[in-house]
Structure 1
Amino acid sequence: MAKTNDQESNQEVDFSKRAQWLRAALLGANDGLLSTASLMMGVGALRKDSRTMVLAGIAGTVAGACSMAIGEFVSVSSQHDMAVAEMERKEGRGEAGAVEAEKESLPNPFQAAVASAVAFAVGAVVPLLPAAFIRAYRLRVAVVVAVSSAALLGFGGLGAYLGRAPYVKCCFRVLIGGWVAMAITFAFSKSFDVLGF
């Protein structure tokens, strides 16, 4: 019985570790999707040609992925440096055994940076792909909103699964938030056109 409990405990710990990475990847993908879709909607409010809209999305994807990677690298590097400093203090107190175990779990800034950039780019591809193949302006905007909405619902559902939260509440929270972001960006850009800027 004790063995079974230990196995369950280990599985929970492993799932918890995986869930942290999955949640980070999910947030990165959601950020890539939402920021790229919103950027494309903002540009689409002023320029109806697909080339301009798609190029803006591509530029936003590259810029966002680089920003996410650099931000994650700096953040994880700081965590790494703090962990190393703490281990050095423990070694000074003669706790070498504990230090060896901690060295194996040190965060890797390069892995975190690459994972963050890839996750962002994966999310950004969702609105970019359909927009690249649709010439008609109204249809293109509608499809970008539709595929982004479907992906947001999926991300919300996955987030609910990882966090063991209510599915409907999480899905619609993410969806409504995405709609608000796209609508604000579109309306803000459109206001410049209306005012004649």
Structure 2
Amino acid sequence: MAENDGRKLNRMFNRTSSLIAAEKDYLTELDGAIGDADHGITMLLGFGAVASELARYDLEEVLPSAVMTTAASAFLNAVGASTGPLYAAAFLRAAKVLETRQSLDLIGQVAMLQAITLGIQERGKGQRGDKTMLDTWIPAAEAASVALARGDGSADLWREVVAAGEVGAAATRSMVAVRGRAARLGERSLGHVDPGAASAVLVLKAMMEVFGD
């Protein structure tokens, strides 16, 4: 039986949780340099809660927009720190976009990615260059738009998305943080990759694994 969109999103969230679990110590190490050393744990709690909540549903009957709404609620309930509201806003924005789509085709996938990025940007009031997760999400969303306009297939498009996100995350090493806890360090935040940008790359990789085949 063909995998429907709800199950694809469920697999995406489960894969994200697995990737973050594997990199939890690395993310925590990054956060230890410029934050509270809890980012790996926080992200695992959030995406683990999403995966657990979605396991309770019959995903043959749940629309993609409802999956994203459930993800937003589960993530926010599990993570009360700043990351929680950011990803909750991202998933709610994606849910709103998916309400108007009949299927999560390639255009829908790009629309979802753009909505996630916009949700984070609106909730956090941030921009590219602030040394945050947006330094991963914004170039990834831009790469998706370019690849879609060029007529790339799903595999090539998602490879471009992840590559752009990785470059964006790596670039945070040369930035001074202006938002979040890291902003308290000022110039001392230089030389460190932002943990939120690093974990965002893992989310993008999970999306590529599910949608880029």
Q: Compare the two structures and name the one with the higher helix fraction.
A: 1
Asked if Structure 1 and Structure 2 have the same fold, meaning a TM-score greater than 0.5 normalized by the shorter chain, the answer is no
Q: Which has the higher contact order (CA 8 A, sep 6+)?
A: 1
In terms of Rg, which structure is larger? 1
TM bin, normalised by shorter chain, reads 0.3 to 0.5
TM-score normalized by structure 1? 0.35
